[in-house]
A and B are shown apart, each in its own frame.
Chain A
Amino acid sequence: MSATQQIEPNIDHYLAEYARVERELPGSDDSKRERQAELRRFSDAGFPSTREEDWKYTSLRPIEKRRFEISDEADTPSEKALAPFLPAGLDAFRIVIVDGHFSAVLSGLDGLPPGATVRSFAAYLNATDGASIKAREIDEEPGSLTAMNAAFFTDGAYIEMAAGTVVDKPIHVLSVASGARDERMTQVRHRYVMGENSQATVIEHFVGVGDNPYFTNAVTEAVMGRNSQLTRCRVQQESDKGYHVSSFFAQQRRDSRVFNHGFDLGGRLARIDTNARLVDQNSEVHLFGVYAPTGRQHIDNHTRIDHATEHSLSREFYKGVLADYGRGVFNGKIIIHRDAQKTDSAQACDALLLSDKAEVDAKPELEIYADDVTAAHGSTVGQLDEDAVFYLKSRGIGEEGARAILTYSFANSLVNKVGIPALVSYIEAALLAKLPGGQAYADLA
Chain B
Amino acid sequence: MAAHQEDVEALVAEREYEAGFVTDLESDTIAPGLNEDVIRFISGKKDEPEWMLEWRLEAYRQWKQMKSPKWPHLHYAPIDYQKISYFSAPKSSAGKPKSLDEVDPKLLETYAKLGIPLHEQEMLAGVEGASYPRSNNVAVDAVFDSVSVATTFKGKLKDAGVIFCSISEAIQEHPELVKKYLGSVVPRGDNFFAGLNAAVFTDGSFVYIPKGVRCPMELSTYFRINAENTGQFERTLIIAEAGSHVSYLEGCTAPQRDENQLHAAVVELVAEDDAEIKYSTVQNWYPGDENGKGGIFNFVTKRGDCRGARSKISWTQVETGSAITWKYPSCILTGDDSVGEFYSVAVTRGMQQADTGTKMIHIGRNSKSTIIAKGISAARGEQAYRGLVKILPSAANARNFTQCDSLLIGDKCGAHTFPYVESRNSTAKLEHEATTSKIGEDQMFYCLQRGLTEEDAVSLIVNGFCKDVFKELPMEFAVEAQKLLDVTLENAVG
Contacts and interface: CB of A to CB of B under 8 A. Distances in A.
Direct contact of A and B (CB under 8 A): yes
Interface of A: 342, 356, 371-383, 385-387
A342 B446 CA distance: 14
A380 B428 CA distance: 11
B433 A374 contact: no
15 contacts: A356-B426, A372-B440, A373-B437, A374-B435, A376-B433, A376-B434, A376-B435, A378-B432, A378-B433, A380-B429, A381-B430, A382-B430, A383-B429, A386-B397, A387-B366
Contacts of A385: 429
Contact of B436 (A356, A375, A381): A375
Contacts of A374: 435-437
Contact of A342 (B431, B436, B442): B442
Interface in B282-305: none
A379 B432 contact: yes
A323 to B, nearest CB: 16
B411 interface: yes
A387 B397 CA distance: 10
Interface string B337-358: 0000000000000000000000
Contacts of A375: 435-436
Contacts of A386: 397
B386 to A, nearest CB: 19
Q: Contact residue range for chain B?
A: 10 to 19
B430 A377 contact: no
Contacts of B426: 356
Contacts of B366: 387
Contacts of A376: 433-435
Contacts of A379: 431-432
Interface in B417-453: 426-438, 440, 442
Contact of A377 (B411, B434, B437): B434
A382 B426 CA distance: 8
Nearest to B397: A386
B430 A380 contact: yes
A301 B440 CA distance: 36
A381 B431 CA distance: 8
A356 B427 CA distance: 10
Contacts of A381: 429-430
Contacts of A380: 429-431
A314 B413 CA distance: 27
B203 to A, nearest CB: 44
B442 to A, nearest CB: 7
A373 B430 CA distance: 26
Contacts of A383: 427, 429
A378 B427 contact: no
Contacts of A342: 442
Nearest to B428: A382
B429 A378 contact: no
Given A342-B442, A371-B411, A372-B438, A378 B397 contact: no
Contacts of B430: 380-382
A382 B429 contact: yes
Interface in B357-404: 366, 397
Nearest to B402: A378
Contacts of B436: 374-375
Given A377-B433, A382-B429, A387-B366, 19 more contacts: A356-B426, A371-B438, A372-B438, A373-B437, A374-B435, A374-B437, A375-B435, A376-B433, A376-B434, A376-B435, A377-B434, A378-B433, A379-B431, A380-B431, A381-B430, A382-B428, A382-B430, A383-B427, A385-B429
A42 B190 CA distance: 61
Top 8 A-B pairs, shortest CB-CB distance: A382-B429, A378-B433, A376-B435, A380-B431, A374-B437, A372-B438, A383-B427, A386-B397
Contacts of A371: 411, 438
A383 B399 CA distance: 11
A42 B430 CA distance: 41
A351 to B, nearest CB: 11
Contacts of B397: 386
A386 B399 CA distance: 12
A384 B84 CA distance: 55
B462 to A, nearest CB: 16
Contacts of A382: 428-430
B375 to A, nearest CB: 15
Contact of A378 (B428, B431, B438): B431
A315 to B, nearest CB: 14
A371 B435 CA distance: 13
B432 to A, nearest CB: 6
A299 to B, nearest CB: 21
Contacts of A356: 426
Contacts of A377: 433-434
A379 B437 CA distance: 19
B367 to A, nearest CB: 13
A422 B146 CA distance: 73
Contacts of B433: 376-378
A342 B433 CA distance: 20
A383 B442 CA distance: 42
A128 to B, nearest CB: 45
Nearest to A352: B429
B389 to A, nearest CB: 13
B414 to A, nearest CB: 12
A360 to B, nearest CB: 12
Nearest to A379: B432
Contacts of B435: 374-376
A290 to B, nearest CB: 19
Contacts of A378: 431-434
A43 B287 CA distance: 65
A176 B426 CA distance: 40
A372 B439 CA distance: 9
B25 to A, nearest CB: 49
Contacts of B428: 382
A379 B432 CA distance: 6
Nearest to A374: B437
A145 B310 CA distance: 55
B308 to A, nearest CB: 20
A374 B438 CA distance: 8
A387 B399 CA distance: 12
A434 B437 CA distance: 42
A231 B438 CA distance: 32
A371 B366 CA distance: 40
Contacts of B440: 372
A181 to B, nearest CB: 44
A127 B437 CA distance: 52
A373 B435 CA distance: 10
A349 to B, nearest CB: 11
A374 B440 CA distance: 12
Contacts of B431: 378-380
B438 to A, nearest CB: 6
B5 to A, nearest CB: 10
Nearest to B437: A374
